[in-house]
Amino acid sequence: MSNLPFILILLGLILLIAAFTDLRQHKVYNWLTFPGMLLGLGFHLAAQGLPGLWFSLLGLLIGGLLFFPAFFWGGMGAGDIKLMAVIGAFTGAAFVVNVGLYTALAGGIIALVILGLKGELWMTLKNLARLFCFLMLPKYAVKPDFKKKPLPFAAVIALGAGAAYFLPPLIDFN
């Protein structure tokens, strides 16, 4: 597969654009994600035929579903979900799972640092405890009070993808 470096450079460019637009405008645009998905699918179809398309499609689905619960609960935007699907379409299911793990790790560390710097760490931990109690005993627990503060997660996804590429996989599927 001699075009692999080109396709990884293209994916890197997509990730950089998404991180930039998310940092500046709090948006990951469809004009970037949908063509990215099609490029990933088309590349693998052209390079390997139907097995390549299946590899790419499975990666797209896993990537798109990986953070879907966070989107469902309002903690992540749809653009971030689509960006993970793009990564899956380009790299397949095994790699995108490791991107998700590295992204979650990086996002958690960044969030703790930001909360610590803002002096909101204790309040957030208290709300997480309330959320756990609310989920377990909804009739008796106090509902947590989360104020929505957008985190440009596309930048964190780009960090997670870079970590997954340069560091050893957290889960080895071989």
| 111-149: pLDDT as tens digits | 888 878 888 788 777 777 777 777 777 676 666 555 565
Is residue 106 a contact partner of residue 163, using CB atoms and an 8 Å limit? yes
Residue 2 has pLDDT above 80, yes or no: no
Residue 85 has pLDDT above 60, yes or no: yes
Residue 154 has pLDDT above 50, yes or no: yes
- Would you say residue 55 lies in a domain? yes
pTM of this structure: 0.84
Identify the band that residue 150 occupies on the pLDDT scale cut at 50, 70 and 90: low
Closest residue by Cα to residue 166 from 2, 8, 46, 1: 8
Residue 53, φ and ψ in degrees, nearest 5: -65, -45
- Would you say residue 161 lies in a domain? yes
Q: Hey, which bits of the chain come out as E strands? A: none
- Would you say residue 173 lies in a domain? no
- Would you say residue 140 lies in a domain? yes
3-state SS, 73-112, equals CCCCCHHHHHHHHHHHHHHCHHHHHHHHHHHHHHHHHHHH
- Would you say residue 66 lies in a domain? yes
- DSSP assignment, residue 138? T
Closest residue by Cα to residue 85 from 119, 38, 141: 38
Residue 1 has pLDDT above 50, yes or no: no
Label residues 70-81 b or e (16+ Cβ within 10 Å = b).
Answer: bbeeebbbebbb
- Please give the average per-residue pLDDT across 65-79, as a whole number: 86
Q: Structural domain of residue 50, as residue ranges?
A: 4-166
What is residue 146's three-state secondary structure?
A: coil
Number of domains in the chain: 1
* pLDDT at 110 (0 to 100): 87
- Would you say residue 10 lies in a domain? yes
- Would you say residue 133 lies in a domain? yes
pLDDT tens digits for range 37-64: 999 999 999 999 999 999 999 999 999 9
* pLDDT at 143 (0 to 100): 60
- Would you say residue 172 lies in a domain? no
